[in-house]
Amino acid sequence: MNRAYIGLALAGFLAGIVFGDRQMKRWQIETRLYRVILVLSCAVVFGLGGWLMSAYGYHILKAVRYWILMYGLILIGLIDSRKKIIPNKAVLVLLGVRTLLLAGEMACFPQLILEIAVSSGAGLAGGGLLFLTVSLIAKKGIGMGDIKLIGVMGYYLGFKVLMSNLIVTLTLTVLGGITGLVLRKTSLRSEMPFAPFAAAGTIITIMMGF
């Protein structure tokens, strides 16, 4: 990794642990297990993720965008796993940050303004509408929080990468559900939190170089 990547990765790792600890206290989900998950997740996202994205030759703005998305999903996943809720405020913060980053990307790459706008816009609208349609057909199992989260993920990833991400995420969700049934931790009527699987799927997809 070059110095810019190393500096940002280290700053992100330290800030992520401090901020995440405060958020866990705020949501009253602070446990030893969750602290371990937070630290290990930050190490993967900022350490391994930084090294891989540097090796892939990503522009630093793209790396920052992916770091923020992965970290945000980790925190939302922790909250959703315990509280069974995806906070609207967290989704709005991710939405606002992405909009600022989008403006920065357009300023740095004026020749790609249309491509950047179409990709992010299609991800936001396409992802949200796709899950909204599925929720209307299924009539249960997918909440508005999940729909908004998918839309924001698409806003960060773009529509094409989001589709790859959803394949990984939904595969993990199915495997998680089957595992829960086998271990008798859940039943067919149990409500499964979606955000933890979305976080894991997004991290895997980004690490694979999409």
User: What's the farthest any 2 CA atoms get from each other in the chain?
Assistant: 55
Query: Helix, strand or coil for residue 114?
Result: helix
Tracing tokens 């057909």 back to the chain, one arrives at 137
Check if the beta carbon of residue 12 is closer than 8 Å to that of residue 60: no
pLDDT of residue 188: 54
Beta strands in the chain (DSSP E): none
pLDDT of residue 89: 94
Token pair listed for 7: 């500096």
pLDDT of residue 179: 79
pLDDT of residue 138: 65
State the residue range of the domain holding 171.
3-207
pLDDT of residue 187: 57
Phi and psi at 63, nearest 5°, equal -60, -45
Chain-centroid distance of CA 201 in Å reads: 8
* CB < 8 Å & 24+ apart, contacts of 101-110: 101/61, 101/64, 101/65, 101/68, 104/61, 105/61, 105/62, 105/65, 108/59, 108/61
**Which pTM was predicted?**
0.93
Cα 131 to Cα 135: distance, rounded to the nearest angstrom = 6
* Domain count across the chain: 1
Cα 171 to Cα 133: distance, rounded to the nearest angstrom = 19
pLDDT of residue 193: 87
Cα 153 to Cα 159: distance, rounded to the nearest angstrom = 9
Phi and psi at 85, nearest 5°, equal -150, 145
pLDDT of residue 66: 97
Helices 113-138 and 159-182: angle between axes, nearest 10 degrees: 30
With a cut of 50, which residues of the chain have pLDDT below it?
A: none
